[in-house]
Structure formats: structure tokens, C-alpha cells
Amino acid sequence: MINISFIGMAACGKSTIGKAVANKIGVSFVDTDLLIEQKHKATLEEIKNKYDYKFVRDEEEIVILGLTSSNRIISTGGSAVYSAKSMQHLKKFSKVIYINTPLEIIMERIDIEGNDSMADIFMTVDAGVLWQAAERDIFSKVDSEILERNVPSYLKDPENKWFGLSKRARTIVFSSDQFTSDDFSTYEDLADPKWKGKLCLRTSKKVYNRSLIASMIDEYGFDQAKEVVSGWISNLATEVFSNDTNALKAVSSGQCGMTIVNTYYLARLLDDPQYDNLNLFWANQNDRGVHVNISGAGIVKTSKNKENAISLLEYLSSDRAQNFYASANKEYPVLIGAKVHESIQEWGDFNEDNINVSKLGSLQKQAVLLAQEVGYK
């Protein structure tokens, strides 16, 4: 029998499902997190505190590359997908199954488990998701001078229930084969009929574009924002894409002329010379600034380790961790003065929209309604 490897984000159910499958078909079960703990004779939390998150990721890669036996069900750690070597190895000797558990389900699990929940921290992408978690009363308020100092006020919950830990800018990327930076100005200008048949977009079903629309609703009101998004749809060169990477590839190939994406997707593609014709333009620099969102986290209110959990968030906002964030995922740090990855330094500084990102959550329902009304799939 070939091995089966389960991958997915933390708390998606990899171990639970893996154990059930192993018991059902009568084979051994392997948890890579447990192998790391056995190797170091310490819990993952203790290992992270002693070293850092990158050390744990490197250890997981070593453990996965050492897996060679057959007839096993394997549950990987949540960071396994970030290692190309680990994923290549898993694909060679196992059937890889991705457990796609929506964040709403994970929030519901934490809510239902109540005091029995083992979760200490809820960490995710997009302020809209963090806002939803706060609305479900999952978080407890955090009183920390370090987080207060390190995380700008507009990148955290007004009641200190969650905090931004990395910053992601969503802006215009265009093909240098067709245009120059002088051709562009704002997100709103992309609704102009002059761009008909030139625009590519990611689906509105994902939070990133919903949050961008929410920021426009906050700035202009529902009706004016609706006019802009309706103009975008009129200018589409093709059907919307499921992700930013495919939209960028469509721009590079000439299928369209420009798109709107998170900058780290561009940074990753530019490692390949075939995409050298992709160029970034910072939108709305003469008015409200470029749209930014966050990845972030909050302390689960039923946490049994609140002091350690707060210490971890404080560390993740520190100069050392912020520099690592920037180099690992090519996002922007929230800590003012922290370094950005050299691959994105050439894009220069930019003015950003300083709307409190919690509004990206409170306006999500309106953003979804707007997209539906204009036929933005």
C-alpha cells in the first residue's frame, strides 16, 4: 500500500482524520509534530520558545525527508506546505491529501469546544476573518505595552482583541509589453472604458478583493463604490481567476494588460525570468493610498496559557521576528523600521490607506452584496 499524507493548516483535522483512517485500514499512524517533540524531548511550544519558528519549520523538513517506510498514514505540521523539498518528498512516496477546512469551521470548533479547547492563539490572514472571530467572541482583550508600541493602531482591533503581524499591500500590476507606469493612477481609474478588454481580476469570492471593495465603500459610500466595481467588470478581458498567481500569468502572457494582486504573489513569480515583463504600480498615491490588509492573531479567551500566548504575540511583533516574516513570505512588516526583503526593496516606499483594518470586516457583508449586484463572480 502507498502511504497517505494529510496536509493543511493548523487545526484543520489532519491528526484526527489520519488516526481514524489508520485505525480503519489497520496501518501505523505518524504525526510529524510528535516526531519533532520526541527528538527534542520537549513540546513544540517549548521548542519555539527556546529557538524560533523558523527552527521548527527546518526541523519539520528534516523529519519529513527522513520518512521512507510504506503502509503509513502521515499527518504533517501546518508549515509543511512551505517547504518545497518536503512537498516533493511527500509526493514521491505517498498520496497527498489536502484538508481544506474553511476558517469559519475552525472558528466554530473553537466556539463549540469552549473551555475544552486546546487553542491558545487564533492566527489567520485578512482582517475581515479576524473581525469575524472577534464577533463570535473567540478572543480575549490583551493588555500589552509591547504590542501597543509595535503594532500601529490602524492595524489592530480597536479593543485590542487581535493584532496585525504582517502587512500585505494589494495594488496594480501591469505588463511592460503593453503599458508604462505613466498610464496608471488609481483603482478607480481601472473602471474607465479606456481599459475595456484589458483588465484581469481574481474572484470576489475570496476575502482579498472583498476587503478592497470594503475599503472603497468606507471611502466613497456604497453607490459610488458600486460604480467603480461595475466598471471593472465591464473592462474584464476574460472570466475572473481563482487566485492572484493565475491572474499575473495572464497579464504576462498578454491575455490582459493589468490586474490587482497582493504584492508577495508578484515577488514570488519574479524569481522566474519569464515573468520579467510584470511591473508593479502603487495605486492611489495622490489620495487615500494603496490598500493594505494584514495577517494577524488574537488570544483565544479559553486559553490555558495566556501569558505564554501573549509573549509569543509580543515576540512576533519584535524586530527579530518581523525581519524573519519579511524574508520568509515577502510581505511587509507591521513594525515601523523593520527590514523588508531585498527582492521588494526596489519597489520603493508607498503611501498606504490608514483605514482601521477592522472596518474591512464590518463592511464585508456590504462588499459581498455589492459584488453580487454588479455580477462580480
pLDDT digits (tens, 9 = 90+) for 314-345: 999 999 899 887 777 889 999 999 989 888 99
CA 216 – CA 234 distance, rounded (Å): 18
Q: What was the pLDDT predicted at 1? A: 63
Cell triple for residue 101? 477546512
Q: Tens of pLDDT along 353-363?
A: 999 999 999 99
CB atoms within 10 A of CB 236: 18
Cell triple for residue 8? 493543511
Phi then psi dihedrals of residue 322, to 5 deg: -65, -40
The residue-averaged pLDDT of 42-53 equals 80
The rounded percent of the chain whose pLDDT value lies above 70 is 99
CA 329 – CA 267 distance, rounded (Å): 9
User: Which is nearest to 86 in space by CA: 137, 134, 32, 47?
Assistant: 32
The residue-averaged pLDDT of 105-110 equals 84
Residue 142: pLDDT above 80?
A: yes
Residue 45: pLDDT above 80?
A: no
Given the C-alpha cell 483605514, which residue does it identify? 355
Q: Tens of pLDDT along 184-206?
A: 999 999 999 999 999 999 999 98
Buried b / exposed e over 273-284, threshold 16 CB at 10 Å, is eebeebbbbbbb
Residue 236: pLDDT above 70?
A: yes
Q: What was the pLDDT predicted at 57? A: 85
pLDDT band at 56 (very low <50, low <70, confident <90, very high): confident
Q: What was the pLDDT predicted at 108? A: 84
Lowest mean pLDDT among 48-62, 163-177, 218-232, 241-255: 48-62
The residue-averaged pLDDT of 277-292 equals 98
Q: What was the pLDDT predicted at 311? A: 95
Cell triple for residue 30? 505518524
Cell triple for residue 349? 516606499
The residue-averaged pLDDT of 237-253 equals 97
Q: What was the pLDDT predicted at 114? A: 86
The residue-averaged pLDDT of 26-33 equals 93
Q: What was the pLDDT predicted at 139? A: 97
pTM confidence score: 0.81
Structural domains of the chain in order of their starting residue, each with its CATH number: 3-98 (3.40.50.300), 168-290+362-374 (3.40.190.10)
Q: What was the pLDDT predicted at 74? A: 95
Lowest mean pLDDT among 20-24, 42-46, 142-146, 230-234: 42-46
CA 133 – CA 300 distance, rounded (Å): 10
Lowest mean pLDDT among 86-90, 145-149, 161-165, 231-235: 86-90
CA distances from 39 to 14, 16, 42, 50 (A): 21, 22, 8, 14
Cell triple for residue 273? 525570468
